[in-house]
Structure formats: structure tokens, C-alpha cells
Amino acid sequence: MGVELMTDATPQPEVLFERRGAAGVITLNRPQVLNAFTIAAVRAIRPKLAEWAADPAVTRVVIQAAGGKAFAAGGDIRTAVELLKAGCFDEAMAFWREEYLLNAEIKRYPKPYIALVEGICMGGGVGLSVHGAYRVAGDRYLFAMPEAAIGFFPDVGGTYFLPRLPGRSGIYLGLTAARLGPGEGMGLGLATHRVPTARFAELVDALGGNEDVDATLRAFSIAPEADKLAPRMAVIGRAFGGESVEVILENLDREAKGAGDDAAFAKAQAENLRAKSPTSLKITLEQMKRGASMDFAECMRTEFRIVQRIVRGHDFIEGVRAVLLDKDNAPRWNPASLADVKDEDVAAHFAPLAPATEELPL
């Protein structure tokens, strides 16, 4: 069995690979940075997945993470911003290009792909897990797509999976960056099974056997916690069905004038949205509209178009500064209001790339 390290000889390998019986096991191994993953990690995982797909002795793949605090808090955004500031646009784009190709490979993987998600699972971590056939929520499962808070957009396949969640919940998640626990993850179908974290190691051993994956996961599963979002689904449907971000805010403000838990929820969401990048909010809502009728490949090509435009704008660099670097949480968005974000500027983010050879090759 043994552990195969990445080819890059580092004291702390970013990814570990192990054969455990019939299972190929991937372990994200940067717990000191909440398992934020780099292009090196992407380049390690992709060929290993291809190798295991072709190996008849490997009948399933398991991905997990070291440390317990996070499955993966996202991609290495800091490095991407440093590259962009240095004018190294192509180098920065290489990360997103290869990450999106990895997301697509997970989506179409020919063998059961099981993600054991404990702790924070945000952004890029979602891309490593949600497209697999099985997503197992641990005790501290915490899902979010927080991109609008840093002037970005919910990528890694968010264009595909968010519009397909129940009701308007995907639009709500993409716009607000709401955080979900295991009960809510199970309720929305983002997680497929709930297993106590203390049994994860035992579960990995069991998945190394030849028993059916479904049967193994059922044997370890427990009833999920109460879904705290379920009572709010009606107000989410009423408010987030608006055709524009402005209308969604009007809906929330109207709901907030009522009484009870729905009103308090609506007020909090309106305040939340007003703190986000206006450009990101409008791009995100447009994503949700378009993605609902696109296949997965077209969704990923669309995201690769958006990312090349959004990183050249003001808000992404400013959002990363405010939230991740200086941490003053006081971004100065430009444009600063929804009214100043022009429809044609939003549409430009979705335009095909020229030349066509620059499109994501899916």
C-alpha cells in the first residue's frame, strides 16, 4: 500500500496518494492553510485520477483532508493576485484553467468518487467535492460559496450546480455566501450522506474493500441534524425569484417589514447583499440564469470566460485586499452601486473568447 508523495520534493507534501485495497485515496495535506490548494496540487491530482481510472484494481476513489478544520477553504487566491499584480496574466490563468479541467474530470469520473468533507468547504474545495457521486458530511461540515464578498463569482462549477438546487436556494447561496452546516447540506442535496467524523478513518478502510459503495456508506450513515434552512425556503423563493439584484433587494426589504423569523431573515440578507460587490452580484445572478439551461461543459467554458474578465477589473483585487490581505473588511467597490453597473458590462464577461482556441478545452 504505502503513500506516494507528489513529485515535487517538499518537506510537507501538498497531496498524499495511497492505495488502500480497492480504493485510491487522496489526502489534501496543507492543514496549516486550511488545505487551500495550489496549481501544484491540481497537477498532482489530475494524472493520478487518470491512472486510477485506467487501473481495474481500483474500483473507487476517496478524497479527504488532513487537519480536521477544513476539507479545503478554496484555491490559493493570494498567489493568483500576486501574479496578476506582477502582470503575469497567463500564469494566473493557468491555475483556473487547470482547476476547471479537474472539476470536469471529477464530474465525469467513470468510477465512484467519494468526498469525505469535514470542516470548511468553500470555493475551490466545493469544486473538489460537489461534482463527485458521493459527498459525505462530517460533524463540522461547513459549506459556502463566498466569492461575491471578494469581488469574484461562484465558479468551480457553481454555474451548473447552484441553479439546480431546490427552489431559489442556489441563487441565495451564490449571492449571499451563506454558510451551511451538515443538516442544511443534506437538505439541499449538497451532501449525500452524514457520517460521524470519528468514523471517517474506519469508513476509508471499509471503502477499500469490495463491498458496494452505496451499501458501505449506508452502513456508516446517521440521521442528519435538523435543516435550519428548511423553514426559510418559502421566503427565499419569494425574495430570490427576482429578475434582477435590485428586485431581489426590493423583495427582501418588503419581507423585512413583516414580523417574525422570516422578516428578520430577510433584513439580514438585504444587509448582507448591500455589503457585496455590486458587479459580482450582477454577474452571479446572470450566471444562475444562464447556467440553468446549460450543460456542464458549457457552464465550465462560461466560467473560464468570466474569470478572464473579472480578474482584470477593480473589485477582485480590492476584495482580496480587504478580506484576505489587509483584513479591514472595508472594500471600496467600483462601481459602488448596483445602478452604476451597466448591463453591457455584465454581458461582456460572458462573451466567447477570441481566438476560439483560448476557450476551455471541454
3-state secondary structure 18-56: EEECCEEEEEECCHHHCCCECHHHHHHHHHHHHHHHHCC
| Model pTM score | 0.94
* Given 155, 227, 255, 286, the catalytic residue: 155
Q: Do 203 and 73 fall into the same domain?
A: yes
Looking at the structure of the chain, the number of domains it has is 2
Residue 81: domain span: 3-144+181-220
- 75 part of the active site: yes
Condensed to tens digits (0 to 9), the pLDDT of residues 131-173 reads 999 999 999 999 999 999 999 999 999 999 999 999 999 999 9
CA distance 93 to 311: 9
CA distance 279 to 181: 28
Average pLDDT over residues 197-224: 98
Condensed to tens digits (0 to 9), the pLDDT of residues 275-299 reads 999 999 999 999 999 999 999 999 9
Longest Cα separation, the chain: 61
Condensed to tens digits (0 to 9), the pLDDT of residues 94-124 reads 999 999 999 999 999 999 999 999 999 999 9
| Mean pLDDT, the chain, whole residue set | 95
pLDDT of residue 186: 98
What nine digits make up the cell of 13?
507534501
pLDDT of residue 37: 87
Question: What's the Cα-to-Cα distance from 36 to each of 32, 44, 78, 174, 273, rounded to whole Å?
Answer: 9, 14, 10, 20, 26
> What band does 11 get if pLDDT is binned at 50, 70 and 90?
low
* Predicted confidence (pLDDT) at residue 2 exceeds the cutoff of 90: no
The rounded percent of the chain whose pLDDT value lies above 90 is 94
CA distance 159 to 349: 14
Determine, yes or no, domain membership for 49: yes
- 124 part of the active site: yes
CA distance 63 to 66: 10
| HSE-up (13 A, CA, CB side) for residue 43 | 8
CATH assignment at residue 321: 3.90.226.10
Q: Do 209 and 287 fall into the same domain?
A: no
* Predicted confidence (pLDDT) at residue 75 exceeds the cutoff of 90: no
Q: Do 82 and 129 fall into the same domain?
A: yes
Determine, yes or no, domain membership for 167: no
Determine, yes or no, domain membership for 110: yes
* Given 123, 124, 157, 319, the catalytic residue: 124
Average pLDDT over residues 200-206: 98
185 or 37: which carries more pLDDT confidence?
Answer: 185
With beta carbons less than 8 A apart as the criterion, state whether 103 and 300 touch: yes
Strands 23-28 and 60-65: parallel
Q: Do 187 and 317 fall into the same domain?
A: no
Condensed to tens digits (0 to 9), the pLDDT of residues 23-39 reads 999 999 999 999 998 99
* Given 21, 24, 75, 170, the catalytic residue: 75
Q: Do 24 and 129 fall into the same domain?
A: yes
> What band does 76 get if pLDDT is binned at 50, 70 and 90?
confident
Question: Phi and psi at residue 8, in whole multiples of 5°?
Answer: -70, 115
CA distance 179 to 229: 10
What nine digits make up the cell of 182?
451538515
* Given 14, 76, 99, 147, the catalytic residue: 147
Q: DSSP character for 332?
A: -
Q: Do 248 and 201 fall into the same domain?
A: no
